[in-house]
Amino acid sequence: MTALYRTYRPQNFDEVVGQEAVVRTLRNAIERDQVRQAYLFAGPRGTGKTSLARILAKALNCAYGPTATPDGTCNSCVSIAAGSSLDVVEMDAASQRGIDDIREIRDHVVLQPVEGRKKVYILDEAHQLTDAAFNALLKLIEEPPPHLVFVFCTTDLAKMLPTVRSRCQTFMFSRPRLPELTRLLRRIADAEKIDAPDAALALVARSARGSFRDAVSTLDQLSSATNGEVSVQGVLQLLGAVEEEALFRICDLVVDGDTAGLLLFVEELADQGQDLTRLVTDLLEHLRHLLLVQHMGEVPDSLPVTEETRERLRSQANQLGEPAVLRLIDLLAVAVEDARQGGDPRLPLELALVRVTKPGADLSGESLAYRLEQLESRVREPSSPIAPPPRAPGPPPAATAEPPKEPPADDGDPLDLEQIQQLWNQVILPTLAERSIPAASVLNEARPVALEGTRLVIEFAPAASFHRNLAEEPKNASLLADVLRELTGRRPELAFVVGEGSADEGAPAEEGPTSEEEFVSLFKSTFDARPVEE
């Protein structure tokens, strides 16, 4: 029985998935009679380089061509698809890599095609040819007979000689995105009558890491193992992969500082037969996603995750601090290195989780730097969620800048300044952070100070004038207005101002511990310290 990845490999340009730029260029070259003598297809394994080389050979030798739409039924197309065409020679450069093999090519290229128009040589894993073999090909690549076309396929473009690359048109093959790979698996599953939910196919696509061949081969294996009924649990068991729920749970326990819960959960996964090496690598990938969300303020479209996972990533990125993410990534790198050297990753994994949740138990320099970052972040946080008493309403300073005015909403109760001040740190800023972390960070330096009808005045300290400029940008101002509309039922007009006084006087007085005793207590709890009497 033919493997599924061979049965469903693309047979024409329309069936190629994820390589639109390459397909468009080759189509245009064929239609305009601008086919070159040598092409170089480079990209990760399983992205369709050899399949596209065969399609190019079909397009050139089809009985109704050259055409960008080979019929697939003529003798030339059928023989090329079956791998029996005398005009298309496929060579494995990993085993035929010497100069003697190249001499054989030079002896045969002078012969005319048997039944087609072109004689096509496809050299797979071309980077494994020796330098002597490449040099022997240079003249032939540069000035070949008019009936000869070379297609070099490689997974390591850096190892291709520059003299060869300069004589070829180079095409970079990209990894397919998760939705593209999932749609392909769904098409194959429906054609083969394989019962598989979308969640299982998405898990298979994610585990393939951008390889069509790996994804289809995994689906083929799952179909055989489950008698055509593929489930999420079956995929996890076969691949040894970690369920996304487990990764989110680990990070939630880190947020809670639950060291005992983390150790018990690792014990539970180990008892279930989970591959802890795979757990470490999947957890690192999850932490990378969180780091991207924290720095970009949104979930990048390039991440191979579903819509439901996007929402959970956004929420968890707001809960788990950036220092904790960076610290855990550094600690897990030790577990990865131990696994590569044949060691058991369980102890390094458990140590990493203990150190990130109990920084006082780690006396290393890296831990000290991490605790300092935590202390600084906690000192910068307001000690009380209640904003200071409102100032008397008055005309804003001359430096006031307003975003474009929008008509206020007519629904909801009238705005109340005291209510907005009480909700500012407790509700308004956290809700804004769920939509845009950068916008929330900017407005964290401000406070509502006056309400004139439907006009809400937001004041920044003199030292935070740069944040005021960012806040008044239409995008940030509109986000804040939308949040206020959802929470209060009214959409106020916003005015951003800079308070009076020196930079030192303008610094928010409510930030940090309010007394020496509170600061000492915070320092003792963070560094596990105790006072020493002189």
CA 325 to chain centre: 16
Q: Is 322 helix (H, G, I), strand (E, B) or coil?
A: helix
Sign, CA torsion 40/46/50/53: negative
Smallest CA-to-CA distance from 288 within 239, 343, 336 is with 336
DSSP-H helix ranges across 463-502: 465-471, 474-488
Sign of the torsion angle spanned by Cα atoms 234, 237, 238, 242: positive
pLDDT in tens, the chain (534 residues): 678 888 888 888 988 888 889 999 999 999 988 888 899 999 888 888 999 999 999 999 898 878 888 888 888 889 988 888 888 888 888 787 788 888 888 888 878 888 888 889 999 888 888 888 888 888 888 888 888 999 999 998 888 888 888 889 999 998 888 888 888 899 998 888 888 888 888 888 877 877 888 888 888 888 888 787 888 777 877 776 677 788 888 888 888 888 888 899 889 888 887 788 888 888 888 888 888 888 887 877 767 666 777 788 888 888 887 888 888 888 888 878 877 777 778 888 888 888 888 876 554 555 555 556 555 555 554 443 433 444 444 444 444 444 444 444 444 456 778 878 878 887 888 888 877 887 887 888 788 888 887 788 888 888 777 778 888 888 888 888 888 877 777 778 888 888 875 444 444 444 444 466 666 666 666 666 677 765
Enter the pTM of the model.
0.57
For the chain, domains (ranges, CATH) are: 4-172 (3.40.50.300), 178-239 (1.10.8.60), 275-357 (no CATH), 382-511 (3.30.300.180)
Instruction: Give 3-state DSSP helix, strand, coil % of the chain, rounded to 5.
Output: 55, 10, 35
DSSP letter, residue 114 = S
DSSP for 359-397 reads: GGG--SHHHHHHHHHHHHHHHHSBS-SSPPPPPPP-PPP
